[in-house]
Amino acid sequence: MSELWEPASPAEFADAVRSAPAVLAVGAQTKPRLSLAPGFVRLGTAKLTGMLDYDASEFTFTALAGTPVREIAAALAEKGQYLPFDPALSGAGATLGGTIAAGLSGPGRFRFGGVRDFILGVRFADGEGRLLRLGGKVVKNAAGFDVPKFLVGSLGRFGAVLEATFKVFPRPASFVTVRVPVRGLEAMAKVLAAAGNTGWELDALEAAPAEAAIYARIGGPGAAPAAIAGEMGRRWDAAPLPSAEADTFWEAAAEFGWAHRGGILAKIPMTPGRLPQVAGVAAGLPEARLRIGGGGQAAYFSLPAGAPAGALEARLQAIGAGGLTLRGDAPLWLGVHPRFAVQRAVKAAFDPHNRFPPLES
């Protein structure tokens, strides 16, 4: 494991960037494969914690990058507000900076969008150790090239986010979750596509192929969620879940509680129409577990500890798919992963000396 430094302020963090030839920012390492960079000094954000500003009337907050997302969620809940994208792994201790760098959203991204849709501004240390403020602190201030959104999912390749401003939403008064039974992968793909194109505005839509079931969460005022659940029941024989069972399901979805412990966990972008093809990848891998998130926009593969990553890599390449390893002994990038000229241009502008890891690794 490479050396870990923990600067106590953004200024110290910038100094640390300038003092080392190769660095990588890390948070709570809840997605440990993203923090693996042999030969790079790891700069931890554990001492960069706390909410710097929270204006509930403007529905925005600003916090340091090392702040645990669950602490932010608790502060928002006191005002009846929340981050609708259900930040992934918050229960495990995920930090705000790590959530931005990974670009990993939970089930709520289906209706409201993901991390990228809620970030407004950042304070950022680039590869030359400069502290830059990018974006704004209110929605109407965002103009020009939206760098904060570009940094979402960048894995710290352009620099380190040390502070961020987000917009938030009022939390719905009530939620109802229904379970839709399906027969076969083709039927599952059709239901996902149809549910995503109704006027119901479902809060979240996830599929569990091993259970032959789709789970839909509906949020809204008063009796509205129950009314929509009734409509879904009449169309697809969907049944509402008891609230405790529903909470357990969505917590497992956001925390990857269904996945193998200590094994490989990877995220694969997809579309609902590719579900049978993507599920075929999992079917050919011993003990593989598969979940479908975002209404069919992402697949999550879990392989047990010790499983070779090569088979997953080969099968993804065979169907022209690619993904990102979140944890486990596997390449960071799996399968097909194109690079774009804008990424190289931004890397050259923010990190001309390549202090942060290269885009390809």
Residue 53 covered by a domain: yes
210 and 115, same structural domain?
Answer: no
Phi first, then psi: what are they for 241, rounded to 5°?
Answer: -95, 145
User: What's the domain range around 90?
Assistant: 4-170
d(CA 321, CA 156) in angstroms, rounded, equals: 23
DSSP 251-295: HHHHHTTTSPTTSEEEEEE--GGGHHHHHHHHHTSTT-EEEEETT
Residue 322 covered by a domain: yes
154 and 15, same structural domain?
Answer: yes
Predicted pLDDT at 144: 56
d(CA 245, CA 149) in angstroms, rounded, equals: 35
CATH number at residue 268: 3.30.70
Predicted TM-score (pTM) of the model is 0.95
| Longest pairwise C-alpha distance within the chain | 64
Predicted pLDDT at 136: 81
Nearby residues of 145 by Cβ (< 8 Å), 6 or more positions away: none
Count CA within 13 A, CB hemisphere, residue 87.
Answer: 31
Q: From the CB of residue 80, how many other CB atoms can be counted at a distance below 10 Å?
A: 12
Which own/partner contact pairs does 244-247 have at CB distance under 8 Å and 24+ positions apart?
A: 245/177, 246/175, 246/176, 246/177, 246/217
264 forms beta bridges with 303
CB distance 134 to 121 below 8 Å: yes
CB distance 298 to 269 below 8 Å: yes
Residue with tokens 């993804």: 316
231 and 188, same structural domain?
Answer: yes
159 and 185, same structural domain?
Answer: no
For the chain, what is the domain count?
3
123 and 39, same structural domain?
Answer: yes
Give CA angle at 36 (310, 106), nearest 5°: 80
35 and 183, same structural domain?
Answer: no
DSSP summary character for residue 22: S
250 and 194, same structural domain?
Answer: yes
**Spans of the chain below 70 pLDDT:** 1, 138-145
113 and 159, same structural domain?
Answer: yes
41 and 156, same structural domain?
Answer: yes
At position 230, the amino acid (one-letter code) is G
Mark which of 140, 170, 200 sits at the end of a domain. 170
Strand ranges inside the chain, DSSP E: 4-5, 23-26, 41-44, 51-55, 60-64, 81-82, 119-126, 131-135, 159-167, 169-170, 174-181, 204-208, 213-220, 239-240, 264-269, 289-293, 298-303, 322-327, 333-335
Residue with tokens 């399906």: 182
CATH number at residue 96: 3.30.465.10
Mark which of 170, 205, 234 sits at the end of a domain. 170
CB distance 81 to 42 below 8 Å: no
Nearby residues of 283 by Cβ (< 8 Å), 6 or more positions away: none
Q: From the CB of residue 2, how many other CB atoms can be counted at a distance below 10 Å?
A: 15
d(CA 292, CA 297) in angstroms, rounded, equals: 8
Residue 346 covered by a domain: no
Residue whose C-alpha is closest to residue 135's, from 151, 150, 146, 124: 146
Residue 357 covered by a domain: no
Torsion of CA 351, 352, 353, 357, to 10 degrees: 40
213 and 117, same structural domain?
Answer: no
325 forms beta bridges with 266
Residue 345 covered by a domain: no
d(CA 22, CA 327) in angstroms, rounded, equals: 22
Predicted pLDDT at 360: 85
Predicted pLDDT at 251: 97
Residue 94 covered by a domain: yes
Residue 359 covered by a domain: no
161 and 29, same structural domain?
Answer: yes
Mark which of 229, 255, 281 sits at the end of a domain. 255
Residue 290 covered by a domain: yes
First and final C-alpha spacing in the chain: 16
At position 261, the amino acid (one-letter code) is R
22 and 141, same structural domain?
Answer: yes
